[in-house]
Chain A
Amino acid sequence: MSAEFLLASMVFLIILSGIIGIAEERSKSVYSIQESVEARIIAEKVAQSLEDAYSGGNGHELIVEMSPSINGRDYRVKINSSGVLVDMGSRNCFSTYLAPRVTGPKHTEKNIVLYPSKRYRITHQRDEDGNHFLVIQETI
């Protein structure tokens, strides 16, 4: 083998190792962005469902179906008076909704947790005082 060939191979390998590093980082970056997009979609979907149920008026109901995972990761959706929080363990995503009160089947819950792969029914109801609220309960 000639010296030129060895040197050219060395330069090629150095450049190639760098390109592999870049490709690996870009792949990680795409994975991370994909995960964030999925989390954002879930947060917006739940918030949008709450707003749809509220704007539909008393008695309106709809079903929201939760994704089995976020890019293969487990997650929880936590709803309280301030908004919808998608909790992926180490990362979080938040969205707001315009509805006066959201509660669970007992009508007293202030924090509701939605789990992956479950279906939830959101119902718009009104109490004796005429106050509107949304009830979220698991359904089949």
Chain B
Amino acid sequence: MDYQGQISIEFMMIMATIPMMLLLMATFTCESSELTLAMAAARNGATQGASLDSLAVYPDQAFSNYSQKNQRLLLPSRVQILGIEYQNQGYNPVYQKTKIQIRAYASDPTLKTREDKNCMGERINYYIRKSIAGTFQTDHMSNSVFNPAFSHRYYYTTADVKWC
């Protein structure tokens, strides 16, 4: 009897199951890796925003606004990012993506007024969104303030920074 060229049924089943499992795992990995990367980008952006806020170096328009209304912000401060968290707000059929809302927690004992904190918070949020758009190279899909920012499966908005 010639046994050459024959494989067992078990081997065939294993060979059929493994690629399916791998395909499923790859899909989950891609999804979670995308969100992980987005959060890493958000942390990076928040740190950049906090550093630039602390150094009080601003673009022309912001500088001009602060010169008139928030002169305290023209001088250096001590903005610290305490944490960043996100909330999955579900699928949005308009964008055909899942909405993620990011909230940063920050502190700065030198900032006293609510208005100053709001201005600093807006800048931190701007850099968070910018960093996400830059990381996923989706700048062209967003407006000038990157609101919302996009990745492949998600889109990101930012809630007001919570000052502690």
Which A residues fall within an 8 A CB radius of B? Answer: 3-4, 7-8, 10-11, 14-15, 18-19, 21-22, 24-26, 28-29, 32-33, 35-37, 39-40, 90-96
Contacts and interface: CB of A to CB of B under 8 A. Distances in A.
Q: How large is the interface on B (under 10, 10 to 19, 20 to 34, 35 or more residues)?
A: 35 or more
A3 B60 contact: no
Contacts of B51: 33, 36
B135 interface: yes
Contact of A40 (B40, B56, B59, B131): B56
B19 A21 contact: no
Given A26-B44, A36-B51, A91-B58, A10 B137 contact: no
**Prevailing SS type, chain B contact patch:** helix
Given A10-B26, A33-B51, A18 B33 contact: yes
Contacts of B57: 35-36, 39-40, 91-93
A40 B23 contact: no
A7 B47 contact: no
Contacts of A33: 48, 51-52, 55
Closest 6 pairs between A and B when the two form their complex, measured CB to CB: A36-B57, A18-B37, A21-B135, A29-B48, A92-B63, A94-B74
Contacts of A40: 55-57, 76
A93 B56 contact: yes
